[in-house]
């Protein structure tokens, strides 16, 4: 089998070249034969050439591969320069694609098959969606570009620099986790802005609530509540988005608890599914009713990146963290339910993970299950309060009554099965 390995890797190098060449050949299919710098056959041969030199470099050294790459670059640049005499075009996409094809071919023979294949697919995709990308850039506003750069700054640059350890009283303040919540809130606002702009207000709100709710339903509630305050006659659609995000919390509880304790997840199954069903149903009803207000005008989209609300929420999170640890330190095991209530006000996953890890050993499974439900009840009521206090009475009544009903049904289900 080892004797066939070089042939196998060369075949992959050739296939990667054919993939990129297929797109390039289709893109330049209207040009006459002999007027194209490179077509499907040339790209396939460039990929195979990269594979051959990759194999040779294993025997003769990496310097040989660098020289071969330079030689291919010179040939491609020269061919591109000659082609400009007949059809002036300063674009160098074909040259870059050829160099990447050579590199992917070499990678395939250097035991980097998976990255090479992934790179070839992404390259082909980028080459194929050129019109779409250019259209997006043409429609991109300056404030949207700046918002993207700011989001990248706080997430890619600042976040990795923060220490991921506890500070302050009881070591309860983790700079990394606190700033991570800032990034999540800002990202949800950013994603919601572009979702509404690209696929429309109603669908954009629903999809933002559905997918962003997987990260933080509280952050979704905060963002949509602020949006409700800025607009009129959108309460039904925004309530549907909030409730969809809130409903995703319940299946997430089952998944998180089930990772650590299947017995705990089974105990939580009935009340959690009951709450999820009530919340999803309410979201669907408001979504249907939201069709009546769809013609009342689009929401005026503002800045896609707003840091101040995210910082305010992070400050609230810090306060809740301190209160939670204070209660735990003061009451010990007897304060488990109070701890769950206060912890759930900011985050359900954290308390669920902690209790699931202790369930059945340091903590009775029934006690852990009830504490997790209390956390979910607390979290639901906090989100109802946020929607009422920030979004106004119309939004708050819709979200609050729906979540209160879910809490009552969930408690009834718990009482029935326990």
- Taking residues 14-40, report their average pLDDT: 72
- Taking residues 320-328, report their average pLDDT: 61
Same-domain status, 66 and 92: yes
DSSP 296: S
**What is the phi/psi pair of residue 139, to 5°?**
-90, -5
**37 three-class SS:** coil
Cα–Cα distance for residue pair 400/115, rounded to 1 Å: 49
Does the pLDDT at position 298 exceed 50? no
Cβ atoms of residues 380 and 246 within 8 Å? yes
pLDDT band at 282 (very low <50, low <70, confident <90, very high): very high
- What pLDDT was estimated at residue 48? 92
Same-domain status, 129 and 68: yes
Q: How far is CA 363 from CA 38, 289, 333, 342, 356, in A?
A: 68, 45, 9, 19, 9
Domain end residue (candidates: 136, 167, 192):
136
Q: How far is CA 279 from CA 248, 252, 335, in A?
A: 9, 14, 29
Q: How far apart are the first and last CA of the chain?
A: 60
Same-domain status, 302 and 282: yes
- For the chain, what percent of residues have pLDDT higher than 70? 74
- Taking residues 328-351, report their average pLDDT: 70
- What pLDDT was estimated at residue 275? 94
pTM of the full structure: 0.56
Does the pLDDT at position 283 exceed 80? yes
Domain end residue (candidates: 71, 103, 136):
136
Q: Which residue has the higher pLDDT, 293 or 105?
A: 105
- What pLDDT was estimated at residue 30? 55
Same-domain status, 97 and 167: no
Q: Give the residue numbers spanning the domain of 65.
A: 2-136
Q: How many domains does the chain have?
A: 2
Does the pLDDT at position 404 exceed 90? yes
Domain end residue (candidates: 104, 136, 168):
136
231-240 pLDDT, tens digit each: 777 788 888 8
214-232 pLDDT, tens digit each: 666 777 788 788 888 777 7
Does the pLDDT at position 40 exceed 90? no
Cβ atoms of residues 365 and 261 within 8 Å? yes
């Amino acid at each position: 089998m080892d004797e066939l390995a070089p042939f196998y890797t060369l075949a992959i190098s050739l296939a990667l070249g054919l993939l990129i060449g297929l797109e390039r050949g289709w893109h330049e299919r209207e040009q006459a034969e002999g007027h194209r710098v490179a077509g499907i056959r040339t790209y396939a041969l460039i990929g195979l050439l990269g594979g051959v030199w990759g194999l040779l470099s294993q025997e003769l050294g990496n310097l040989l591969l660098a020289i071969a790459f330079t030689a291919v670059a010179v040939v491609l640049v020269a061919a591109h320069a000659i082609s400009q005499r007949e059809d002036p075009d300063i674009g160098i996409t074909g040259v870059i694609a050829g160099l990447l094809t050579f590199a992917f071919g070499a990678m395939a023979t250097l035991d980097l098959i998976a990255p090479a294949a992934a790179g070839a697919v992404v390259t082909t995709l980028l080459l194929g969606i050129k019109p779409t990308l250019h259209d997006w850039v043409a429609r991109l506003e300056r404030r949207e570009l700046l918002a993207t750069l700011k989001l990248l700054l706080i997430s890619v640059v600042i976040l990795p620099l923060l220490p991921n350890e506890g500070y302050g009283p009881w070591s309860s303040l983790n700079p990394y986790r606190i700033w991570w919540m800032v990034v999540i809130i800002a990202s949800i606002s950013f994603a919601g802005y572009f979702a509404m702009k690209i696929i429309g207000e109603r669908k954009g709100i629903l999809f933002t609530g559905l997918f962003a709710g997987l990260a933080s339903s509280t952050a979704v509630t905060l963002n949509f509540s602020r949006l409700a305050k800025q607009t009129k006659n959108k309460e039904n659609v925004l309530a549907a988005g909030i409730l969809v995000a809130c409903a995703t919390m319940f299946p997430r509880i089952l998944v998180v608890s089930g990772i650590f304790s299947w017995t705990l997840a089974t105990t939580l199954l009935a009340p959690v599914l009951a709450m999820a069903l009530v919340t999803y149903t309410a979201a669907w009803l408001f979504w249907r009713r939201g069709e009546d207000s769809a013609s009342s005008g689009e929401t005026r989209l503002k800045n896609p990146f707003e840091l101040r609300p995210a910082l305010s929420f992070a400050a609230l999170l810090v306060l809740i963290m301190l209160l939670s640890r204070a209660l735990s330190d003061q009451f010990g095991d007897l304060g488990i339910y109070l701890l769950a209530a206060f912890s759930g006000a900011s985050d359900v996953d954290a308390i669920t993970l902690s209790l699931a890890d202790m369930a059945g050993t340091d903590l009775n499974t029934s006690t852990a299950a009830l504490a997790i439900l209390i956390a979910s009840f607390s979290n639901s009521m906090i989100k109802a309060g946020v929607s009422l206090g920030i979004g106004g009475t119309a939004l708050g009544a819709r979200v609050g009554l729906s979540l209160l009903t879910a809490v009552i049904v969930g408690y009834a289900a718990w009482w029935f099965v326990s």
